[in-house]
Structure 1
Amino acid sequence: MDRELAGHIADLLTSANRRLRRASRAELERAGVTPGQLRVLRLLHAAGSPLRVSELARQLDVIPRSATSVVDLLEERGLVSRQPDPADRRAILVALTPPATDLLRALRASRAAGVAQLIDRLSPGEQAELARLLTVLTDDD
């Protein structure tokens, strides 16, 4: 591929991502959640069941103390709860609370609205093609 075209594509992708992040940042501020906290909430949601702090730290690629700090803040806000691990009495599991699930649902809807606003300039066929191309680029082989 032509390096100049590759650079142009990289700039365009960065610009589109920046627009989405800007809109998302405002929504997160209104919700009182940081991007790092949202990442923990999304990880817990994707897991489908409570996780140990050590597993959260591993998936976030941070030291356990950093994950503990984020969990502490989320627990103070009532977005996660700690519970004993039935498989190991020494371990603690972190679980989403119903308010966290509601918050994630609202943030997802807001994000979808932001994406829709951005891509509404495209025809339905172009939107489908964009989704297909992005899937090819992000698909893990």
Structure 2
Amino acid sequence: MSTEREPASGREPGLTSDEAIRAMLLLMPRVAARLKRTKIPERLRSFQLAPRHLSLLSYLLFDGPMPVNELATRLEVAPTTVSLMVSDLSRQGVLERHTDPADRRRAIVAITEDEETRSAIESWLAHGANAWRKAFEPLTPEQRAMFVRTIETYESGASGAAD
């Protein structure tokens, strides 16, 4: 007997709206629980990282160093919130701030050059990236875009912003 769970949607070619809602309402708590159980690498455990840190680190890892205001825009939070997060993570040796050579008043934030810390961050993010890669592989680019838009719409609606 297989221990793999059959997807809530089964193998049907399509779902009614109510069937899809039921499947997602049953699936999302399992996804959230699994994410909460994701182990933070030993090197990062003492840093008390939260999900918001995961998003910040993802942007810096995938898109490279950037100013605090750009991070704030992408994270959809106030620049002061990002500045506090960056200050905290800089003190702990996770992030570094450098002066922008084009505008000396602006700081550029980057993941530390420390190979052990950087490797731990990459390892932590790789689990989710690999799971998404597997999920997205059979989809067309248009289907991937629709999925991302759907999750964004759900997130907005679940927060009450779409009311």
TM over 0.5: yes
Structure 2 counterpart of 1:72, one-letter code: S
Q: Which structure 2 residue ranges, 5 or more long, are not aligned?
A: 1-14, 150-163
CA contact (8 A) 2:58 2:125 kept: no
Specify which structure has the higher proportion of helix.
1
**Correspondence for 1:119:** none
> TM-score with structure 1 length normalisation?
0.71
CA RMSD of aligned residues (A): 3.0
**Correspondence for 2:86:** 71
**Correspondence for 2:36:** 22
Are the structure 2 counterparts of residues 27 and 139 from structure 1 closer, same or farther at C-alpha, using a change threshold of 3 Å? Answer: same
Post-superposition CA distance 1:55-77 (Å, at most 9, x none): 11011111100010100111011
Are the structure 2 counterparts of residues 79 and 130 from structure 1 closer, same or farther at C-alpha, using a change threshold of 3 Å? Answer: closer
Are the structure 2 counterparts of residues 45 and 109 from structure 1 closer, same or farther at C-alpha, using a change threshold of 3 Å? Answer: closer
CA contact (8 A) 2:99 2:108 kept: yes
CA contact (8 A) 1:27 1:110 kept: no
**Correspondence for 2:61:** 45
CA contact (8 A) 2:41 2:123 kept: no
Distance 1:70 1:78 in 2: 12
| Seq. identity, % | 26
Structure with the bigger RCO (C-alpha within 8 Å, sep 6+) is: 1
Q: How many residues align?
A: 125
The question of 1:34 aligning with 2:50 is answered yes
**Correspondence for 1:105:** 122
**Correspondence for 2:97:** 82
Distance 1:88 1:76 in 2: 24
**Correspondence for 1:60:** 75
Q: Following superposition, which runs of at least 4 residues in structure 1 exceed 3 angstroms of deviation?
A: 108-113, 128-131
* 1:27 shift after superposition: 2.5
CA contact (8 A) 1:79 1:96 kept: yes
CA contact (8 A) 1:82 1:95 kept: yes
CA contact (8 A) 1:28 1:34 kept: no
Post-superposition CA distance 1:82-132 (Å, at most 9, x none): 11100011111111113442121221355579x6xxxxxxxxxxxx78852
Q: Which structure 1 residue ranges, 5 or more long, are not aligned?
A: 116-127
> TM-score with structure 2 length normalisation?
0.63
Structure 2 counterpart of 1:23, one-letter code: R
Post-superposition CA distance 1:36-55 (Å, at most 9, x none): 1121111111112x211111
